[in-house]
């Protein structure tokens, strides 16, 4: 290979032992949460994966190296850096070729996980079709990645800042299985339920693992999106969060925020408007996703 793929000692051991591994993204650390909650959350997420029987592999590009698993020092350095790139499919290779440092989005983390032979990945929420996409054409590269790359992604649905029905339509067009875990409705990130029903439902980690293996055996490219609802006691009701989302969206519009800056801007604004409640909920749902991902990874490792 023309580029370095660097495994942390912990992940290298799990690969050698063929035990369960869960990939974790780093954009949520650098662009999704403020310091120091970002690094604290990253540590607790890793610990949650371990307590539930799998090895966490946080993924990032640092000084041109694609890291599969970060050491404590690397994690802290990344979380404190202020001008880290936000990497997706389009710019990941360029960052590595030029010795740069960047955090991986869902799309880039899926690519890295596949290269490292990791089948399961836990995050908060995937990117999707933005509201007003009929004018802006803003559709996250995460969706096409799910259609191409064979990794099961556990998320709390798509972020409620998006156009959820359009996101579901695009996922259907792209042939991505969207599976709600333990409920019929598609979860809305900060709230457990939405008005939209999920195309598929599964109630066990074993079924989810099996479905991925069947897809692989059939030669179907692409992954699966597992939509895992936020725990009820941590959710922000839709009637509370929706007006706040509207306010953040009009502010983004007024400031002409576009492209990669949209998602971080909205998350930061919603954090301020909810006085931190959005972050507390975000942390709870990521931990919940890490737990389910660890169970799925174990089922896959068994087979």
Name the site residues for ligand PSU (rule: CB under 6 A): 25, 27-28, 31-32, 105-106, 124-125, 127, 140-142, 159, 260, 263, 267, 282
Among residues 86, 159, 260, 295, the one annotated as catalytic is 159
246 is annotated as an active-site residue = no
Nearest CB to ligand PSU, comparing residues 14 and 113: 113
69 binds, among Mn ion, ligand PSU, none (CB under 5 to 8 A by kind): none
Contacts with Mn ion by CB under 5 A lie at 138
Residues 6+ apart with CB under 8 A from 123: 24, 25, 28, 106, 109, 153, 154, 155, 286, 289
CA distance 285 to 41: 11
CA-based end-to-end distance of the chain: 28
**Closest CB to Mn ion belongs to which residue?**
138
Nearest CB to Mn ion, comparing residues 56 and 128: 128
Q: Return the exposure string of 254-289: e unless at least 16 CB atoms fall within 10 Å of the residue's CB, then b.
A: eeebeebebbbbbbbbbbebbeebbbebbbbbbbbb
CA distance 147 to 36: 34
Nearest CB to ligand PSU, comparing residues 25 and 299: 25
13 is annotated as an active-site residue = no
187 binds, among ligand PSU, Mn ion, none (CB under 5 to 8 A by kind): none
Residue 157, Cβ density class (10 Å: 0-12 exposed, 13-18 middle, ≥19 buried): buried
Among residues 25, 46, 145, 299, the one annotated as catalytic is 25
125 binds, among ligand PSU, Mn ion, none (CB under 5 to 8 A by kind): ligand PSU
Residue 152 beta carbon to ligand PSU: minimum distance, rounded to whole angstroms: 15
Residues known to be catalytic: 25, 159
């Amino acid at each position: 290979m023309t580029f370095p793929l660097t495994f942390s000692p912990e992940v290298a051991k799990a690969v050698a032992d063929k035990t369960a591994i869960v990939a974790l993204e780093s954009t949520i650390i650098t662009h999704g949460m403020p310091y120091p909650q970002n690094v604290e959350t990253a540590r607790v997420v890793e610990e949650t994966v371990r307590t539930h029987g799998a090895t966490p592999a946080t993924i990032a590009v640092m000084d041109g190296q694609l890291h599969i698993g970060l050491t404590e020092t690397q994690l802290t350095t990344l979380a404190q850096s202020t001008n880290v790139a936000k990497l997706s499919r389009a710019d990941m290779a360029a960052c590595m070729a030029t010795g740069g440092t960047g955090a991986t989005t869902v799309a880039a983390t899926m690519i890295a996980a596949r290269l490292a032979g990791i089948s399961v990945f836990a995050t908060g929420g995937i990117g999707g079709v933005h509201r007003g996409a009929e004018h802006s054409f803003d559709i996250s590269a995460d969706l096409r990645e799910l259609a191409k790359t064979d990794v099961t992604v556990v998320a709390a649905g798509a972020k409620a800042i998006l156009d959820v029905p359009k996101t579901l339509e695009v996922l259907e067009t792209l042939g991505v299985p969207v599976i709600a875990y333990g409920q019929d409705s598609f979860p809305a990130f900060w709230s457990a339920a939405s008005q939209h029903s999920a195309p598929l439902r599964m109630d066990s980690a074993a079924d989810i693992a099996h479905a991925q293996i069947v897809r692989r055996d059939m030669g179907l490219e692409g992954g699966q999106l597992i939509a895992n609802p936020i725990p009820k006691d941590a959710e922000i009701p839709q009637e509370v969060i929706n007006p706040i989302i509207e306010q953040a969206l009009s502010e983004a519009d007024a400031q002409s925020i576009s492209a990669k800056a949209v998602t971080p801007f909205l998350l930061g604004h919603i954090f301020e408007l909810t006085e931190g409640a959005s972050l507390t909920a975000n942390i709870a749902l990521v931990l919940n996703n890490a737990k389910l991902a660890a169970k799925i990874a174990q089922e896959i490792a068994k087979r």
